[in-house]
């Protein structure tokens, strides 16, 4: 199942979570290359300014750094949470925000979900910078670098949090609220600061303007909408990842996850 697409030098890099691998897709020829295989459900990636690749995992309790064929531990997350880890996004100062989901779906589903955001910065250990989400999922940073956008899957909302000088986060404000049928998953921003949101169970990818209005909708048919990223030579190619199911064994059997490309008007902005 293709998760967390990222644009990098003519290719889309993503996690194939149920194959336990990071893959790169050359968009010019469609050639798929496996960059690295892991032993525990990689779910998200991000690039540092030196070009090295960070990888988060649902269950490994760490963030890996992959560079020039070598894989090592970038951050140790052990002892922080009993629940699964999720999306990461890297800012312009190489500070890394990572979501702890507050659940381990479907193994551990607490009655009261308290999903949190942590900051990884230099030699400092993980620092909690936000809490109280109903499953914090996709993360993105606005084009001016001033705000973190959080997709709250079980809350059916997108939130905007100001980023302080020290990397901490301020009080959240609502960007958009969806129906109960739509669970926002992966997200990205465009140059106008609007947010593209892959609404997994809503089976569509939508563009939410700064005022919260939905300006565009892209149906993914019967498949779940998993992730999205803007890329291409002019930044106007929207790449979507879809899957017929999120269940691990069924996904391994079906192998039906796909990468789509849709042309849009407003180019890429922000991070990832």
How far is Cα 151 from Cα 78, in angstroms, rounded to an integer? 24
Question: What DSSP line would sit under 156-179, residue for residue?
Answer: TEEEEEEBPTTS-B---EEEEE--
Give the pLDDT of residue 251. 55
Residues at the annotated binding site? 3, 137, 185
What is the length of the chain?
272
Look at residue 209 and tell me if it is in a domain.
yes
Name the percent of the chain lying above pLDDT 90: 81
pLDDT in tens, 114-153: 999 999 997 778 999 999 999 999 999 999 999 999 999 9
Average pLDDT of span 94-100? 98
Residues at the annotated binding site for a divalent metal cation? 3, 137, 185
Look at residue 19 and tell me if it is in a domain.
yes
Give the pLDDT of residue 154. 94
Mean pLDDT, the chain, integer = 93
Asked if the model's pLDDT at residue 228 lies above 90, the reply is: yes
Look at residue 89 and tell me if it is in a domain.
yes
How far is Cα 267 from Cα 192, in angstroms, rounded to an integer? 8
Q: Is the peptide bond before 80 cis (omega within 30 degrees of 0)?
A: no
Tell me which of 21-25, 85-89, 118-122 is least confident. 118-122
Asked if the model's pLDDT at residue 12 lies above 90, the reply is: yes
**Straight-line distance from the first to the last Cα atom of the chain, in angstroms, rounded to the nearest whole number:** 19
Look at residue 188 and tell me if it is in a domain.
yes
Look at residue 77 and tell me if it is in a domain.
yes
**Structural domain harbouring 143:** 2-263
Q: Is the peptide bond before 272 cis (omega within 30 degrees of 0)?
A: yes
Nearest of 206, 268, 229, 235 to residue 14 by alpha carbon: 229
Residue 251 to residues 36, 108, 254, Cα–Cα distance (Å): 20, 20, 5
Look at residue 269 and tell me if it is in a domain.
no
Query: CATH number, domain at 71?
Result: 2.120.10.30
Q: How many domains does the chain have?
A: 1
Q: Which pTM does this prediction carry?
A: 0.95
Which residues are catalytic, by number? 185
Look at residue 268 and tell me if it is in a domain.
no
Give the pLDDT of residue 255. 66
Look at residue 58 and tell me if it is in a domain.
yes
Give the pLDDT of residue 236. 98
């Amino acid at each position: 199942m293709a998760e967390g697409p990222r644009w990098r030098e003519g290719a889309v890099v993503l996690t194939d979570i149920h194959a336990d691998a990071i893959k790169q897709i050359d968009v010019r020829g469609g050639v798929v290359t496996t960059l690295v295989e892991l032993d525990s459900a990689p779910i998200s990636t991000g690039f540092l300014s030196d070009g090295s690749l960070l990888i988060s995992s649902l269950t490994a309790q760490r963030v890996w750094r992959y560079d020039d064929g070598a894989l090592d531990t970038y951050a140790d997350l052990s002892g922080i949470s009993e629940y699964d880890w999720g999306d990461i996004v890297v800012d312009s100062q190489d500070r890394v925000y990572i979501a702890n989901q507050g659940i381990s779906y479907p193994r551990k589903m607490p009655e009261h979900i308290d999903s949190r955001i942590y900051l990884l910065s230099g030699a400092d250990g993980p620092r909690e910078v936000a809490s109280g989400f109903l499953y914090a999922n996709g993360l993105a940073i606005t084009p001016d670098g001033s705000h973190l956008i959080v997709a709250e899957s079980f809350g059916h909302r997108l939130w905007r949090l100001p980023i302080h000088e020290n990397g901490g986060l301020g009080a959240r404000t609502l960007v958009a609220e969806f129906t109960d049928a739509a669970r926002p998953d992966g997200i990205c921003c465009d140059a106008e600061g609007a947010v593209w949101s892959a609404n997994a169970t809503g089976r569509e990818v939508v563009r939410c303007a700064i005022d919260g209005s939905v300006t565009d909708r892209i149906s993914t048919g019967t498949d779940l909408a998993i992730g999205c990223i803007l890329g291409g030579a002019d930044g106007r190619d929207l790449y979507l990842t879809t899957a017929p199911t999120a269940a691990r064994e069924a996904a391994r059997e079906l192998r039906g996850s796909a990468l789509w490309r849709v042309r849009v008007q407003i180019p890429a902005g922000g991070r990832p």
